[in-house]
Chains A and B, each alone.
Chain A
Amino acid sequence: MSTATESRYSRLFDNATLRQIERMRLRPLRRLTNRSRGEHLSGKGGSSTDFADYRDYAVGDDLRYVDWNIFARLRRPFIKQFQHEEEMHVVLLIDASTSMLSGDKLLRAQQFAAAFGIMGMLNLERVSVYGIHTSGVQPLLFPPSTGRTKIRPLLTFLEQLEGGGAIPLEQSIETMLRFHRGRGVAILLSDFLTLGDLSRPFNMLYSSGLEPWGLQILSAAEIAPDVQGDLRFVDSETGDTLDITNAAELLGEYHQQLQVLQDYLDAQCRRRQGRFLSISTGEEFELQLKDRLCRQGWVLR
């Protein structure tokens, strides 16, 4: 039980939230795992104590797994299969470009990355973090790690992650895939505000055995911009400008386009057995974690 005087373990969230996170588990749609053992239940037969299924006996099968009670009744040998607990790779890709610096979006990305990382590590998954912000520069990498002992380094890595740069998300994914090996879940923490085509990097993720989970983090100003009159918008990343006349008149169209983008991203993720969720930095992190992520089936409590 945390108290007011209790020192925070991480500046990303308080200790109570940390304890709640420790009790959560990621819930991938597919069971893409590494061959190495872990605590994640594999779809393949395994040696765990959890019964999975029966199958016909084949020559060469280990006779220890024949269910003799079935054989006694049916006079046919069946192999008893158990769920295999394999290690799943949780890849956390943090978009640390300049656009993420506005509205505490990067902080929220760091919080969720920490939460997902802790969940993975405590479930003996291999967790790696990529912080990508600038094109052509080697990404900031938290190497694949697992176990409670790596939580502290993970949090430290995330806390020290700084944003700034103009790399588009699609390039970030491709950069990450050049360094990454392993199957599992790729959680993309970004605002997904890119002009590029995301189909290709999503395909690459899928081909690499990673479920694409897109968590779109938008600031309140991006969801409901407070604009009026004639404005010259300046892109925080590229410095490009765009003149808008009567911006207030275009807000309806803006919301429509935002919805179109979110529908597109959701379709891209679902098409590849992934998930997509858009959150606002205007909401409390704890609420989003316990409520929205659970309801959407991202995590198990």
Chain B
Amino acid sequence: MSAGMGAAMTWPGFINPIGAWLFLAAIPLVVLYFLKLRRPRMEVPSLVLWHSVVNDQRVNSPFQKFRRNLLLLLQLILLGLLVLALTQPFIASSAGSAEFTPVLIDCSASMAAIDPATGKTRLELVQDEVRNLIENLRSDQQLALFSFASTGRRLTEFTNDRRMLLQALESITATDVPAELDDVLRMTAAYTTSFPIREVLLLTDGNLPPSVEFELPFRLDVRRLQLTAANLGITEMSARRSGPQEWDIFIRVSASSEELLTADLQLYLNEEQLFTERISASAGEGERLVFPVVSAGRAILEARLVPGDEDALRTDNQCWLSLPEARSLQVLTYGRLPAWQRAVGVLEGVEQEALEDGVPEQTEYDLIISNRELPAGISGRQKLFVDVIPADLAGLVEKRDGVSLVTDWNRTSPLLQHVSLGEVQIGDMPAWGKGAGVGELEERGYEVLAEGSSGPLILQKREGLQTSWWFTFQTERSTLQHRVAFPILVANAVDTSLRQASLSEVAAAPTGVLPPLQLEPATVYTVRTEQGEEVQGRSGVTGLLTGIGAATVGRYEVSDGSDVVAVVGTGLLSLSETSLSAVEELSFAEVSVDAETTVVLDTDQPLWWGLAMGAFLVMLLEWWYFQRVRGVVQ
């Protein structure tokens, strides 16, 4: 049951009560009946016997009066039934009591799973229920259809136009992305200002995140299909560099069924099959496989699962992974930073350019460590500034004379993982400006990673894929350089840069949005799917092509108009979708909503067809009675 549900069935309502005026048609019907009932006049010598007959009939049959005018009675009943049918009476159910009802339809990847009992996909089963809801829609009731997967999509405005609603319903197809409720709920909540929405109907298979950070402004009626199916799918694929040109490919296969499911896992490198492995998995006991792959240049790996048993979902049987070209991490240490240079220099896979002053050899680096402003035209994906306060924080953070101690730091930050800054003494005293605090910095996009006794010590700012760190103090005038935490910190910065440059680890991209592609700046690219659909995108000034939607599993070719410049692939890669599991309860802010298990959607029960059928039977009865009487006479 949904929160607040449980309204008892009430008296029948009428969708078209105005039709009751047609009951007045009974008046002309009666008048016309008696006018039309010009019985043939027949002169008889005397009415004595007939009077006796009629009187005797009246005594013996109390309904003789009705029988005398049985035809009129039947016609009145027929009229009554037809008019009642016209008023479209219905027995209201709780689900249909709201006048404006948004209907949220889950079209995430798991909705494409085939129900073995019916042979239909879960989405088709939900569509059947919504179709029933639309067909039984009252004239004063309006629906708005929304579909959602990772994002919400409004299919119709509030309307009672059945044709439009059915058309929108038929247009819904399952996508290859996991389900997220936040977006569609926010979209629905926006309608509450314009429409009196009391209840929102959510139709899903229950494969949803159990917790949603959203405060419900309405009652959510969750209708969950109770279905089980056996499914096997790839839920994880990643690669880690194991040598200059060697990669370890990690693939995790998960299953939805308690029974052991088997399949053949095939791995292709640039469409050339490398491995085939027989795997078996069950719910909770997935299989993780490692394949060694040698690749010097850019390559694309495809993992393909060929199920040996029943498999409800096909979209999670394939995924792709793009391997980058093998190269060293380009690091620039700019300025006098001997400790940093030494720490970077001992790391493997790093090509360092140490420059105290002057113009760097390259214009683009993976990591730049500097204690001053960079020369114009030099860019880096990751930048680390030492003893620099960002220009846009002037007045908020300032340097004063004195010493500082680290009071707190963000231990989960990639830069500060395994780094202990306790008891680190600093010969500078970065301090907060007048009236400044963490809030002001956050407004400008900065995050305080380490805070000293007087002000921020380490700041971080993300701009797209670029990350910048600022040490607001001189590391040389601190005990940090003399502690074991320092090389760890430098290694963290390098590792982050390696990951950012996809030089050490790379993960397969899930569906939703294509991973950012580093291409030529300010160029229009065409992204083409395997199905032939094309989307155009323009790279930014840094050459980053982002925001290309990838709702379906498959390969995407990126071309600049003539040549294919990149090939990427996506996979479902969602453990929750592959497991086809269903949540029993959805947690919202301060509210929990049970996901009701139902197969048949509770809708208004229309009565008009029953009345129309009754009218038809009355008409048949009238015809039969009329024919019978005539037959008796004959």
Contact = CB atoms under 8 A, between A and B. Distances in A.
A249 B40 contact: no
A99 B45 contact: yes
A243 B69 CA distance: 11
B39 interface: yes
A102 B47 contact: no
B44 A234 contact: yes
B37 interface: yes
Most buried by B among A242, A246, A249: A246
Nearest to B45: A99
Interface stretch (A5-13, A52-60, A110-118, A191-199): A191-199
Interface stretch (B21-29, B51-59, B124-132, B293-301): B51-59
B541 interface: no
A261 interface: yes
A232 interface: yes
A243 B44 CA distance: 12
B68 interface: yes
Given A195-B51, A245-B67, A102 B629 contact: no
A234 B42 contact: yes
Given A234-B41, A257-B52, A248 B632 contact: yes
B57 A235 contact: no
Contact of A254 (B39, B45, B53, B69): B53
A238 B633 CA distance: 29
Most buried by A among B41, B42, B46, B54: B46
Q: Is the interface of B mostly helix, strand, loop or mixed?
A: helix
Contact of B37 (A191, A230, A234): A230
Contact of A235 (B37, B47, B54, B67): B47
B348 interface: no
A60 B462 CA distance: 166
A227 interface: yes
Contacts of A195: 48, 51
A234 B45 CA distance: 8
B11 interface: no
B534 to A, nearest CB: 79
A260 interface: yes
B68 A245 contact: yes
Interface in A222-253: 222, 225, 227-238, 240-246, 248-250, 253
Given A230-B39, A231-B39, A243-B68, A100 B45 contact: yes
A254 to B, nearest CB: 5
Contact of A242 (B45, B50, B630, B633): B50
Contacts of B39: 230-232, 243-244
Contacts of A222: 44-45, 49
A63 interface: no
B67 A244 contact: no
A249 B69 CA distance: 14
Contacts of B44: 102, 222, 225, 233-236
A231 B42 CA distance: 7
Given A243-B68, A245-B67, A245-B69, A250 B53 contact: yes
A295 B48 CA distance: 29
A267 to B, nearest CB: 16
Contacts of B630: 229
Interface size class of A (residues with CB under 8 A): 35 or more
Contacts of B633: 228-229, 248
Contacts of B43: 102, 233-236
A236 B629 contact: no
A134 interface: no
A300 B17 CA distance: 83
A204 interface: no
Interface string B597-634: 00000000000000000000000000000000110110
A29 interface: no
A258 interface: yes
A219 interface: yes
A219 B67 CA distance: 30
Given A100-B45, A249-B632, A244 B54 contact: yes
Interface string A99-125: 111110100000000000000000000
A297 B79 CA distance: 63
Nearest to A237: B46
Interface size class of B (residues with CB under 8 A): 20 to 34
Contacts of A100: 45
B50 A244 contact: yes
A261 B49 contact: yes
A102 B45 CA distance: 6
B210 to A, nearest CB: 73
Contact of B52 (A99, A236, A260): A260
Given A193-B48, A228-B633, A235-B46, A257 B40 contact: no
Interface in B38-92: 39-54, 56-57, 67-70
A293 to B, nearest CB: 23
Interface in B126-162: none
Contacts of A102: 43-45
B44 to A, nearest CB: 5
Nearest to A100: B45
A254 B54 CA distance: 9
Contacts of A235: 43-44, 46-47
Interface in B478-525: none
Interface in A241-298: 241-246, 248-250, 253-254, 256-258, 260-261
Nearest to B631: A248
Contacts of B45: 98-103, 105, 191, 193, 219, 222, 236-237
A105 B54 CA distance: 25
Contacts of A225: 44
A227 B460 CA distance: 109
A161 B539 CA distance: 127
B30 to A, nearest CB: 15
A236 B46 contact: yes
Contacts of B47: 233, 235, 238, 240, 242
B372 to A, nearest CB: 115
Nearest to B40: A231
Contacts of A241: 41
A194 B629 contact: no
A222 B39 CA distance: 20
A182 to B, nearest CB: 31
Contacts of A261: 48-49, 52
B56 A253 contact: yes
Nearest to A252: B53
B52 A193 contact: no
A71 B631 CA distance: 83
Contacts of A233: 41-44, 47, 50
Given A193-B46, A248-B633, 14 more contacts: A105-B45, A194-B48, A229-B40, A232-B42, A233-B50, A236-B44, A237-B45, A238-B47, A241-B41, A242-B50, A244-B39, A250-B57, A258-B49, A261-B48
Top 8 A-B pairs, shortest CB-CB distance: A193-B46, A99-B45, A228-B633, A232-B39, A257-B52, A248-B633, A245-B68, A193-B48
28 contacts: A99-B45, A100-B45, A101-B45, A193-B46, A193-B48, A219-B45, A222-B49, A230-B39, A231-B39, A232-B41, A233-B44, A234-B41, A235-B46, A235-B47, A236-B43, A236-B46, A238-B47, A240-B47, A241-B41, A242-B47, A242-B54, A243-B39, A249-B629, A253-B53, A253-B56, A254-B50, A257-B53, A261-B49
Interface of B: 37, 39-54, 56-57, 67-70, 629-630, 632-633
